[in-house]
Structure 1
Amino acid sequence: MQRPARLAATLTLPLVLACAASPDAHADDPPQRFTERTEYHGIQVERLAAGLEHPWSVAFLPRGRFLVTERPGRLQRIDRDGSATRIGGLPDITARGQGGLLDVSLHPRFEENQLVYLSFSRAEGRRDTVLAVVRGRLVEDRLEDVEEIFVQNRASSPGRHYGSRIAWLPDGTLLLSIGDRGSEPMRAQDTRDHAGSLLRLNDDGTIPEDNPFVGNEDVLDAIYSTGHRNIQGLVVTPDGTVWATEHGPRGGDLLHRVQAGHNYGWPVVTQGLDYRTEREIREFEGRSAAGVTPHAHDFGPTLAPSGLAFVTSERFPRWEGNLLAGGLRAERIRRLTLIDNEVRHDEELLLQRIGRIRDVREGPDGHLYVLTDASDGALWRISPQ
């Protein structure tokens, strides 16, 4: 069930603005505005809104407004003044473990159809959950005509490794990541199971006829790629290249250039170790294997990647064509320089300055936007200084 609202949907909740000091701020709270010098650019980092409960994803509405998901089950519209209005009409959401209301994405033709897409976990029986996707039309402060367009084909517990990121390909189809769900890693190698895969769907949830495994009875038609542990960073570049960041076991966080029909190896191929034993996981067969596409970059010591942006903005001319990968545990952004689709340089930004980074996006205005995951999470903007 959807959790009770903190305020009625018709009320507007003032959030902490970047220009207003909080009288009861803790001494270790980050400042609401600060500057930082990076290798190529001076940047200004500004908090636009706070008071968000475990925000997970941000999407950009017209007129400088935002949609932000809160994992306990709320969708907030953030206005330019930093105030938030709760959006009604959401489906029943089960916020358990790492689950809840997760990604939000606008249809590529949103200004024509007002369609909003949400990924979330919902209950299936007493203990199990599935990942599902709905879409609905945003009409003022409510989603109308909400329909479920996808549901995972096997429910399970515990409530971990949902993946849940949505990204759009240039042809108008969408990609959806689903993690291995945390208890049976080999599900990522079971091609009759959605878990541990990247899926490709039409905008209404049907299967594109040119998906790589259509007609193969041994593989689900929706599968685009396999062998994924838990993709929580996903971006498509203007030329259609798909990049994904993925949580590994200890020390195994990776960047992939995802290609249709490829297997990325988890759990038989991994760069990480078992969390509990700090030894190779039971299913491990090697750092590489025949039929497994190698990763594009190994983040080394744990980043816990979530959120991924591709920089196209002229506001950051020395960053154009770079990837920005958010880090939860590491509390930083990794800037990756790409040359011929290979990572040639890796710079760390915002080292433990604003908290656990859940989402990183490039906005339509060319600025960069970041969500921090906490019980009092925040929306930040990064601008050139």
Structure 2
Amino acid sequence: MIYLLLISLLTSILSAATANSAPLPNLQIRSDEIKTATTSGGNMRGPALAVLANDDLLLGGGKTGGELFLYNLATKQLTKLGAVIAANRRNDDSRFAINDIAVLSETQSSANLLVSYPRLGSQKNCVEIVVENINYDRVNQKIKRVKNWLVTKPCVPISAVQHTSGRFAVIDKKSAYVTIGDLGYPQISNRSKRGDLGSIFKLSSNSITKISQGHRNAQGILLYNGKDLLATEQGPRGGDELNLIKAGADYGWPFVSYGQPYGSGDYVKPTKSGTHIGYEEPLKYWVPSIAITELVQLPKSGWAAWSNQLVSGSLKEQVLVFISLTDNLTITDTQNFDIGERIRDLEVLNSGQLVATTDSGKLLILNLKE
């Protein structure tokens, strides 16, 4: 009798879960070749991505890692605008590349941008992360440096160029949030030495405010419904996370992680694995890791049951992750759509379509099939 009751209960739970699950969207995918905008040196790295009001795209990467391009979706024309990383401030390594681009404001003649990237310190023996304000002259198709908004400290050994993060969520025309990774810094567990690393900041041209800490490699950030700050974070061997970011909170890295150490050669090992006790719990975590990347919110219409919901990219699993979230920030469903490509960056066009860059040098434009 107990056995039959358990079977009945399990069947009810599974039926309820199925009933609450929206079907995976039937996507139509257009693929453009943009290998000129990818960065080589070790592995290939797809370009950073931002969308202008007319749905022209800004791409960041290229042969030298620090080039900015304009891409027209209608003509498929790629135009080089200039470079932001000095040649003598990087190694020939695809990780020395633009991480993200944010459009703070724009007119017909210009756009005010933020660009993040890692570079060598002034002595060329360490790595720092820079957030730079850039003016894009749309008439003459040129870019001009305006001001550095952030240069992270400490400057850490060159071997630690991994986990740079540098993803933006625009707040308004004068400010944005940015994620800063742990840079693979061996002393990240020492709070007095980690400085700016493993944190999320609120930035403007004249102010820097640390919002949260304890982040390993936050590869996506989003103001959900314009008010709740969400971030996706890559963990070690599992432990990828979706977090609700709260001011002053500590998200535990490297003291706790749902992931596991890689091995004896790790730069740092979590003090406790398989737990988040004592620190902010993620809204969701993935074990094994999917190498989660950028996070976006779909438009309020045009995506059937997934309208207004979340989508994230993935490197390792090569999928788009559709995430259903309630108004009280409870996740009710996640489903993976197989892309077969490492998704480096992801945005939403003003037309409502998804657009993604891949490490193989493709630009993907995705929408529901009618």
Q: Which residue of structure 1 lines up, in the alignment, with residue 15 of structure 2?
A: none
* 8 Å contact from structure 1 (residues 331, 357) kept in 2: yes
Number of paired residues?
327
The residue matched to 2:256 in structure 1 has which SS? coil
**How far 1:238 sits from its partner (Å)?**
2.8
Q: Which residue of structure 2 lines up, in the alignment, with residue 123 of structure 1?
A: 120
Q: Which residue of structure 2 lines up, in the alignment, with residue 155 of structure 1?
A: 155
Q: Which residue of structure 2 lines up, in the alignment, with residue 217 of structure 1?
A: none
Distance 1:187 1:364 in 2: 42
Q: What residue ranges of structure 2 are gaps of 5+ in the alignment?
A: 1-21, 39-44
Distance 1:336 1:108 in 2: 29
**How far 1:233 sits from its partner (Å)?**
1.1
Q: Which residue of structure 1 lines up, in the alignment, with residue 29 of structure 2?
A: 45
User: What amino acid maps onto 2:52 in structure 1?
Assistant: L
**Superimposed CA distance per residue, residues 280-313 of structure 1 (whole angstroms, 9 cap, x where no aligned partner):** x7441351233x1101101222211111111124
TM-score by length of 1: 0.79
Distance 1:190 1:109 in 2: 40
Q: Give the direction of change, closer, same or farther, for the CA distance of 1:171–1:148 in structure 2 (3 Å limit).
A: closer
Return the structure number with greater helix share.
2
Alignment of 1:148-297 (within 5 A): 148-157=148-157, 158=159, 159-169=161-171, 172-184=174-186, 186-187=188-189, 189-190=191-192, 193-202=195-204, 204-207=205-208, 222-276=209-263, 282-285=269-272, 287-290=275-278, 292-297=279-284
* 8 Å contact from structure 2 (residues 215, 252) kept in 1: yes
Q: Give the direction of change, closer, same or farther, for the CA distance of 1:50–1:91 in structure 2 (3 Å limit).
A: closer
**Superimposed CA distance per residue, residues 219-273 of structure 1 (whole angstroms, 9 cap, x where no aligned partner):** xxx2110000010111112331111111101011111111111110111110011
Distance 2:61 2:202 in 1: 25
TM-score by length of 2: 0.82
Q: Which residue of structure 2 lines up, in the alignment, with residue 83 of structure 1?
A: 77
| RMSD of Structure 2 on Structure 1 (CA) | 2.4
User: What amino acid maps onto 1:206 in structure 2?
Assistant: S
Q: Which residue of structure 1 lines up, in the alignment, with residue 134 of structure 2?
A: 136
Q: What residue ranges of structure 1 are gaps of 5+ in the alignment?
A: 1-37, 208-221
User: What amino acid maps onto 1:75 in structure 2?
Assistant: L
* 8 Å contact from structure 1 (residues 228, 264) kept in 2: yes
* 8 Å contact from structure 1 (residues 119, 134) kept in 2: yes
Return the structure number with greater strand share.
2
Q: Which residue of structure 2 lines up, in the alignment, with residue 382 of structure 1?
A: 366
Could you tell me which of 272, 294, 298 is aligned with 1:311? 298
Distance 1:103 1:110 in 2: 21
Q: Which residue of structure 2 lines up, in the alignment, with residue 350 of structure 1?
A: 338
Distance 1:113 1:135 in 2: 13
Distance 2:167 2:181 in 1: 10
Alignment of 1:21-100 (within 5 A): 39-51=23-35, 52-53=37-38, 54-70=45-61, 72-79=65-72, 80-88=74-82, 90-92=84-86, 94-95=90-91, 96=93, 98-100=95-97
**How far 1:99 sits from its partner (Å)?**
2.6
Q: Give the direction of change, closer, same or farther, for the CA distance of 1:288–1:236 in structure 2 (3 Å limit).
A: same
* 8 Å contact from structure 1 (residues 189, 226) kept in 2: no
Distance 1:170 1:259 in 2: 19
User: What amino acid maps onto 1:382 in structure 2?
Assistant: L
The residue matched to 1:195 in structure 2 has which SS? coil
